[in-house]
Amino acid sequence: MEWLEASTENCPVQRTLDVVGEKWTLLILRDAVNGVRRFDDFHRHIGLSEAVLSDRLRKLISAGILKTVPYREPGSRARNEYRLTRKGWDLWPVLMALTQWGEAYALGPGESPPLDVRHTGCDAPVRVVVQCSADHAALAPGEVTARLGPGARLRS
C-alpha cells in the first residue's frame, strides 16, 4: 500500500487541525502562551467578536487545551481566567514553528516581528528544528524517510 492508497481518516495532522486549525483559535493560543488569561484581554488584543471568542474558548476547554481558573477582582463578581493545560503547552513548538516560518516568509521588507524569543540562559534566538530521537542531530527533509505506520488503513 502506498500513501495515496492510505486512508487519512486517522491522520494526526487532520485530527489536530479539527481542534486548532482555525485562525482565531491559533491566535488565542498565541496570546495564551504569551500570558493573556482573561476574556476581555483576549477580546481586546485579538479583535474578534465576543461570540466567536466564547465559542473558541469553549472548544479549547472541551479539548483539554485550556482550563478555567476562577478569580475575583475586589468589588466585582467571580470570573474565570483561561490557562493552558499541559496539552495546551505541548502546542508551543507548533506556534514557534509558525512564528519562525512567518518571520522568514510572511513579513514584508523592513518589517520586524513583534516578539524576539530568546533562550533565557544564553540570550540566543530560539529555533524550532526536527531532530533524530537517537543522536539529537537536526535533520533536513531529505534526511527523513516516511513510511506507512501500523495505523495505516486502505482508503475506502
Between CA 84 and CA 64 the distance in angstroms is 9
pLDDT at 156: 87
115-150 pLDDT, tens digit each: 999 999 999 999 999 999 999 999 999 999 999 999
pLDDT at 15: 95
**The CATH number of the domain covering residues in 3-143:** 1.10.10.10
Residue 82 has a CB neighbour count (10 Å cut-off) of: 22
Whether the per-residue pLDDT at 1 is higher than 90: the answer is no
Between CA 102 and CA 96 the distance in angstroms is 10
Domain ranges for the chain, please list them: 3-143
95 near 30, Cβ under 8 Å? yes
18-58 pLDDT, tens digit each: 999 999 999 999 999 999 999 999 999 999 999 999 999 99
Reading phi first (left if > 0) and then psi (alpha if -120 to 50, else beta), residue 65 is in alpha
Between CA 64 and CA 60 the distance in angstroms is 6
pLDDT at 3: 87
Between CA 44 and CA 36 the distance in angstroms is 11
- Reported pTM: 0.90
Task: Give the residue-averaged pLDDT of 1-10.
Answer: 90
Task: Give the residue-averaged pLDDT of 51-74.
Answer: 97
Q: How far is CA 133 from CA 11, 63, 121, 122, 140, in A?
A: 21, 28, 23, 24, 14
88-117 pLDDT, tens digit each: 999 999 999 999 999 999 999 999 999 999
